[in-house]
Each structure stands twice: as structure tokens, then as C-alpha cells.
Chain A
Amino acid sequence: MAHRRTRVKSWLPVLLFIGGAVAAAVYFVENPGSAMAARVLTYDHLATLAAQHVGMVVISSLLAAATALPLGILISRPRLRLLGLVLENLVNIGQTIPSIAVIALSFTVLGLGFNTAIFALWLYSLLPILRNTYAGIISVPPGVREAAVGMGMRPWRILLRVELPLAFPIIMAGIRTAVVVNVGTATLATFIGAGGFGHLIVTGIMVRRLQLLLSGCILSALLAMLCDHLLGMVEEKVKTSA
């Protein structure tokens, strides 16, 4: 059945997304459409916004992975099973809270700025990674774990050689979700003064300049699709090797 065929993710879309982004940037800078837009749409400025956007996503995602992985491992220990269940429920509730609300709440506590945005993105992307790390380790079949214990593997060796490798595809899926959501949420960071492609969109709406608006939309959308595809490739790779 054609629709069941697993689509092997190729490098072609990666080139398309990057090429598309570059082409869009060149097009909008060369055709700003109005003097007001021309002041914003310069190569320098676009590079700055891109760096801000990517920087926010990369830093917050790395921090989130660095916190959520150990935490997820910790709450999956049998002795902390109860804590794990409690946290799992809290995370589930936390995930229903909209990203704009998290940005807004962070703003009320930390004020404007890049660091506030990093904090909000970190907090928000913590949840999928934490949940998937926990779920991934919990889903290791009991027989597999028992065999490992029964053969005299030390607990940290079981974690490294059995539990984490088996949970890795699920953890990777969590990281992918987190990063893609982060690209989207980072567009909202402009509301609290952290820049990024959202700046182009919001400015475009405020001053009613279509070129400005479209440039922000297209660039942030391409970045999101690029991240999704790249991490999808990693996920596929992990799945087939596991």
C-alpha cells in the first residue's frame, strides 16, 4: 500500500529550505516595497534577527535537554516512582498552558529582554523532553531490565547500555517536538523585546508593510520546517539503528 511506505527523509528538503530562506532574504532586501521597510530589511539586520532567533532556540533547547534528561532519568528510578507519577501529571497540565501565556508570565517575573525569552523557551521545551525521557525509560520491557539485573550489570551500566539506548528514539522525538515548538514560540519573543523573526512580523503588522510582514513569516516558517526535517532525519536514523 503506497500510503504505508515509510518516507525516507532525504537531504533535498534541507537544501530547499535553506535555499528558499536565502532566496527570500535576497528578494525582500532587494525589493523592500517601501522606504520604511527598506530601513528594516537590510542584510545586516536580517542576519542579526536570524542569529537572535536561532540563538534563542539553540540555547534554550540545549539548556532544556541538559535539565530534562537528568530529571527524567531521576524520576524514572523505581524508588522515585511516586514523584515520577506526580511530575508526569504536572507536566501534562503544563503542556496545555499556551506558549504565549508562558512568555507573558516570564515577562511579569523577569521583565523584558533576551534572557527572559530564553527562560520562557527553556521552561516550555522542558516539558516534552522530560515527559518523553520518563516515558521512554518506563517503557523498557520489565523482562529486559530483569535480565540485565540478573546478569549482574551495575545500575549505571544498565542505564547507559540498556535503558537509555532503548529510550533514545522516544527521547529524540521529544527533543524534536521541543525544538519545533521553540521556533514558533521564539517568534513571540519579540513582544518582550528579544528580537528574532517575530520582530519583522510584528513591525510589518504595526506599520502595515506587506513585504516586512511576509519576510518574517516566510523566514520563520522555513526555519521551523528546516528544524523539523533535520531532527526528523536524526529521529529516523536513531530508530533504524535501535
Chain B
Amino acid sequence: MGFWSLVVSRWNNILESTGEHILIVVAAVCVAVIVGVALGVVITYWRSLAGPVLYFCQVVMTIPSLAMLGLLLPVFGIGYKTGVATLILYSLLPIVRNTYAGIQGIDPAIIEAAKGMGMRETTILRRVKLPLAWSVILAGIRTAVVMIIGIAAIASYIGAGGLGEFIFRGISQWNLQLVLLGAVCVSLLAVLADGLLKRVEGRARR
């Protein structure tokens, strides 16, 4: 059976898995953005926390994703919950780091000016700091999304669904076409997401 006929015959299957894949990635990123940006903002005020928090995120990043899935498995059990939890953890670092760096990188004169005009700190954060740091934060989100699309594929192994299932089923059934299908779809998804978010980022920078 040729690769294309496999694609055609499994079309619905592919769509469904891609949908699942996108869903868990988006769900995880949404949570990670809320938590990550908040954390990133907090450590710009509470400077002594910045070092430890960023270091912790960095350490989490070095842990192999399969190991992290395994560590969280006893807590959340087989299924998408463990997957999503892992994805959230991994997407935190780039978002926290870039939020922090984005705000720290703002020209102090601008913030001085905002203060001088009598803006409250909450207003400065909402109207000045976050908008100015936004393109940097977006870059962090892009890094996070691309990374966890790959990790989500590994999460299929613990029953989180998504495109990784083709790969694992293909390997266990020695079905090379199926493995190829899974690998190509995941790669395409990552490349496309990267391209799309790069464009959003480019627009935000202007």
C-alpha cells in the first residue's frame, strides 16, 4: 500500500488525531500563558524570586520529556491529563523567561515617564509594560508551542491521543508507512505553527 493511498484511506483518522493534537497543545498553552505571564510579571516586582524561579524552570527543561511524563503518570493517571500537565510544565519556562526579559528590557525612561504622568502601577503594567513586552512574550509562546507539539506526540504513548499514536502503533505493528505518516504530520504541524506564530510575532513588533 502506497503512502498516498494510506493518507487517503486514513484521512478522517488523520483529521481527528490532528484535532486532538492541536486541542491538547492549545489547552496547555492557554494555561501556561496565564500562569507563565503572571509568574513572569511577579518576579519583575519580587526580584529575589527571579533567580530561583528561572533556575527551576531551566532545570525542568533539562529533564527528558518521557521521564517527566513518567513522573506525572502516577499523579494524573493514564490519559490526556498527564499529557496536558507535562505540556504546561514545559511551556512555562520560555513564557516566564521571555515575560521577565521583555519587561526588564523596556527602556527605564519610558516607565519613568509613565510614572511621572501619574499613572498607577497597575495601569503602567497593563498599558505600558505588557504591550511593550508583548512581542518578546510572543516569541516565548512560539518556542513553547513548537516544543510541546513534539512532546504531545510522545504523550500519545500514555494515552493522551494525538498524532503520536500513528508513530507508536506503526512501530509496534511494524507498519513503516504509518510511522512515516505520524512523523510527517507532527513535523508539518510544528513547522506550520512556527511559521504562523512568527508572522503574528512580526505583526506585533510593528
Contact = CB atoms under 8 A, between A and B. Distances in A.
Task: Say if the two chains contact directly (CB < 8 Å).
Answer: yes
Interface of A: 1-3, 5, 7, 93, 96-102, 104-105, 107-108, 180, 183-188, 191-192, 197-198, 201-202, 204-205, 210, 213-214, 216-218, 220-221, 224-225, 227-228
A205 B191 contact: no
A223 to B, nearest CB: 9
B167 interface: yes
Contact of A225 (B63, B171, B187): B63
- Identify which of A5, A186, A213, A227 gathers the most chain B CB atoms within 10 Å of its CB: A213
A205 B67 contact: no
Contacts of B36: none
14 contacts: A3-B47, A100-B167, A183-B64, A184-B66, A184-B67, A188-B154, A198-B66, A205-B158, A217-B67, A218-B67, A221-B67, A224-B63, A224-B64, A225-B63
Contacts of B47: 1-3
B179 A107 contact: yes
A102 B167 CA distance: 11
B205 to A, nearest CB: 18
A225 B63 CA distance: 7
B80 interface: no
Interface in B146-193: 146, 149-151, 153-154, 157-158, 164, 167-168, 170-171, 176, 179-180, 182-184, 186-187, 190-191
Interface string B6-41: 000000000000000000000000000000000000
Interface of B: 47-48, 50-51, 55, 59, 62-71, 73-74, 146, 149-151, 153-154, 157-158, 164, 167-168, 170-171, 176, 179-180, 182-184, 186-187, 190-191, 194
Contacts of A202: 66, 157
Contacts of A7: 51, 55
B180 A225 contact: no
A104 B183 contact: yes
A202 B48 CA distance: 40
Contacts, number: 132
Given A100-B153, A205-B73, A210-B74, A224 B62 contact: yes
- Identify which of B47, B51, B59, B187 gathers the most chain A CB atoms within 10 Å of its CB: B187
B63 A221 contact: yes
Contacts of B153: 98, 100-101
A97 B188 CA distance: 8
A216 B67 contact: yes
A97 B154 contact: no
Contacts of A183: 62, 64
A3 B66 contact: no
Contacts of B171: 104, 107, 191-192
B76 to A, nearest CB: 13
B186 A98 contact: yes
B180 to A, nearest CB: 5
B71 A97 contact: no
